[in-house]
Structure 1
């Protein structure tokens, strides 16, 4: 039986917005991936907490954003891992826990040039497919032709979680910037105010 192809889309999702959801949905509907997991990164204990909302609040928002969208799932796998968590370690945990799945990575083109500096990047490139969505102004660099890397021209939004947090703080609504269920929860909870 073939393994379920599962793409991992890591992020702080602080908060999750429609730009994230467009990329996740693009990857699950226009590639060979069976599922895309939005992996919520925990607060790094060595960094100042600053404007990062609590781990479980961000996870809850991602679950609201996904709703019942087929093929998308929220993951908190890194919440119980040693901090900071490295991608290679997260993949090892997931492979042990889900032997029926074949995992790959999803990342923005702005991250690709830094990949050689990641922990065990040689193993990542040897053992995992990497789906890269283009980021304007960020050339893919020398790894663009690597056999494990596929470049995707996914639709992108000039939208950031920082812009959304600033808008909320300033008292502006965020309708259409985040999924409706997320907008509702942000309004009710007062998160980021």
Structure 2
């Protein structure tokens, strides 16, 4: 005859069902280099959605057709560490760097969810990326794994066949490519990115326009 569950078993079952799920935001990208726009988006989404944590997730290799060359993953990660060290809510997710190869969001998120089944992920995209979502690798499965969060961009399309939570953030027209061009041309990029990141760039002679730093 089957015995009734004991108090410990019932307590464990109750705690499992009522345990609060962790809510984590993710912003992926090359971060070549990380700049104030990335940090403002991360902080605003985290605060406005009341997330527990927010991860900046550097890609190892972009899967997009217009693949952009980046500097070494080591330098990009070091700059991200410097940029986030004064905000306890912001940290790094390095699974794509560790895995290497082409970074497909579906594979990354499937891996993270398997590793952290008690976490809900909010994946941030710029408004200019909405039109490209149908072309994303295994997008119909990906939308079952994450909640997309869209950041408004001037003139960007906000209609999508996929569920997106839209967030308003200050319009900051800063891009990593512009920063790289300005540094190569010896123009000022002060206030475009954190001072400690800019110091790292100068110290390590990144983006100086020579062949070494175009890799």
Structure 2 length-normalised TM: 0.81
Measured on the aligned residues, the alpha-carbon RMSD in Å equals 2.2
Contact kept? 2:109, 2:145, Cα under 8 Å: no
Match of 2:38 among 20, 26, 38: 20
Deviation by residue 1:72-111 (Cα, 9 ceiling, x = unmatched) = 1112110233632211100011112223322121110111
Residues in 1 aligned to 2:112 and 2:67: alpha-carbon distance in whole angstroms: 27
Tell me if structure 2 keeps the 8 A contact 1:51–1:192.
Answer: no
- Kept in 2: contact 1:45–1:83 (CA 8 A): no
- Segments of structure 2 that go 5 or more residues without pairing to the other structure are 1-18, 209-215
Q: How many residues align?
A: 190
1:43 to partner: Cα distance:
3.1
In the alignment, is the contact (CA less than 8 A) between 1:23 and 1:156 conserved in 2? Answer: no
Whose Rg is larger? 2
- Is it true that 1:166 corresponds to 2:184 in the alignment? no
CA drift of 1:32 comes to: 2.7
In the alignment, which residue of structure 2 is the partner of 1:114? 132
Runs of 4+ with >6 A deviation: 45-50
Deviation at 1:173, TM superposition (A): 2.8
8 Å CA contact 1:4, 1:101 repeated in 2: yes
SS of residue paired to 1:73: strand
Determine which of 93, 109, 113 is the counterpart of 1:75.
93
Distance across 2 between alignment mates of 1:82 and 1:189: 23
